[in-house]
Amino acid sequence: MTIPVSDLQELNNISIIEMYSLELQPDLHYVPADIVMDYEQSGNVITITAPSTSSMPSVGDLVNLKFEELLANGNEAVNMIDTFYTVATVPSTTTFTVKSLTSQSVSSQTDRVTFKKSSTNVPITFLFYSGVNLKDSQSIVWQGNTYDKFPCSAEGYTYSTNGALPRPKIAFSNIFGNITSFLNTYNIFTIGGFSCPINLGGAKLIRHRTLAKHLDNINFLNNVNPYNDNPPDPSAEFDKEIYFVERVISEDREIVSFELISTFDLIGLNAPSKLATVHDFPGIGKFINQ
């Protein structure tokens, strides 16, 4: 008996959900203003203590955290993951909490975590998904992080038998000029009155994939994932695929598309890997009479 196409296209417990994260690079897409903070962990909750109230994020903000290597009992590595987290609570004017996928106990650590941010407080990491949830047609939530709904499509992830590395292409809708505005905001450095276009070159894009049964319950009616009889496993995912933006393929009023390269594609390396700006050398772009 032939299975109707509509049935094949329906979401089920083994449907693969594909999401993306885009991380901009310091000194290339933005001027960094990282802040070193303290932290401790109890169970799945990591509590971060900021040095001042001015550096505090708000509930729901996406924060990039990089932990210093830490050994428990002198020989056992503590599994602190450098990644992006969503701020869960703000218990005081100088502390905030995030949720880890790993449950463990870590005593208070001074100056052992770096809060990566830009000098202008603009976002440096973006999460997106070409679709909506099944509850209210809004953005999808996975591992406690919100992946914003945004129309996009990607292709070219397949490895060839001749050893050539894949160079995927990802295209975004630009109907309202959102991507063009994004490029203008993050990818133009003005040096001495001259504009230097970057076009997202070097930005890290990660392809995340998991099964529908492992999505957070909040995505479904009555906050219950109907594709899993057990609580969803947020740590269950396929291997991450890491790429970097190589170049803009095309840009018009409807679509902006990019070519991606893998971490092993040495041909795609750029030189220099860092832009020198007036933040580093005040004399850049200025003419000095001898």
Domain harbouring 92, CATH code? 2.40.30.20
Q: Give pTM, 2 decimals.
A: 0.84
Q: Is residue 273 part of a domain?
A: no
According to the model, what pLDDT value does residue 290 have?
A: 47
Q: Give the residues of the chain that fall short of pLDDT 50.
A: 5, 8, 75-76, 268, 290
> Same domain, yes or no, for 159 and 261?
yes
> Same domain, yes or no, for 86 and 147?
no
Give the start-end residues of each E strand in the chain. 16-23, 35-49, 62-67, 71-72, 76-77, 83-92, 95-116, 125-129, 140-142, 145-149, 152-155, 169-173, 188-191, 194-197, 204-211, 241-251, 255-262
> Same domain, yes or no, for 22 and 154?
yes
> Same domain, yes or no, for 148 and 215?
yes
> Same domain, yes or no, for 173 and 225?
yes
> Same domain, yes or no, for 174 and 261?
yes
Closest CA to 240 of 31, 81, 58, 50: 81
Q: Is residue 69 part of a domain?
A: yes
Q: Where among 88, 116, 144 does a domain terminate?
A: 116
According to the model, what pLDDT value does residue 159 have?
A: 81
Token pair in block for residue 258: 């990019």
> 13 near 212, Cβ under 8 Å?
yes
Token pair in block for residue 138: 């809004």
Closest CA to 104 of 63, 144, 76: 76
Q: Is residue 225 part of a domain?
A: yes
Report the number of distinct structural domains present in the chain: 2
- Can you give the residue range of the structural domain that contains 213? 5-28+122-268
Q: Where among 69, 93, 116 does a domain terminate?
A: 116
Q: Is residue 100 part of a domain?
A: yes
Q: Is residue 72 part of a domain?
A: yes
> Same domain, yes or no, for 106 and 139?
no
According to the model, what pLDDT value does residue 241 have?
A: 93
> 265 near 257, Cβ under 8 Å?
no
pLDDT, tens digit (0-9, with 9 covering 90-100), for 252-270? 999 999 999 987 775 545 5
pLDDT, tens digit (0-9, with 9 covering 90-100), for 26-38? 888 888 999 999 9
What's the Cα-to-Cα distance from 173 to each of 9, 181, 253, rounded to whole Å? 23, 12, 9
> Same domain, yes or no, for 98 and 222?
no
> Same domain, yes or no, for 141 and 180?
yes
According to the model, what pLDDT value does residue 136 have?
A: 84
| Alpha carbons 199 and 196: distance in angstroms, whole number | 9
> Same domain, yes or no, for 9 and 151?
yes
Q: Is residue 277 part of a domain?
A: no
> Same domain, yes or no, for 98 and 140?
no
Helix (H) or strand (E) holding 9, with range, is helix 5-9
Phi-psi domain of 214 (left: phi exceeds 0; alpha: psi -120 through 50; beta: other)? alpha
According to the model, what pLDDT value does residue 126 have?
A: 95
Say whether 168 sits in a helix, a strand or coil.
coil
Q: Where among 116, 151, 169 does a domain terminate?
A: 116
| Alpha carbons 203 and 178: distance in angstroms, whole number | 18
Q: Is residue 282 part of a domain?
A: no
> Same domain, yes or no, for 20 and 150?
yes
The residues that bridge with 245 in the sheet, in sequence order, are 260
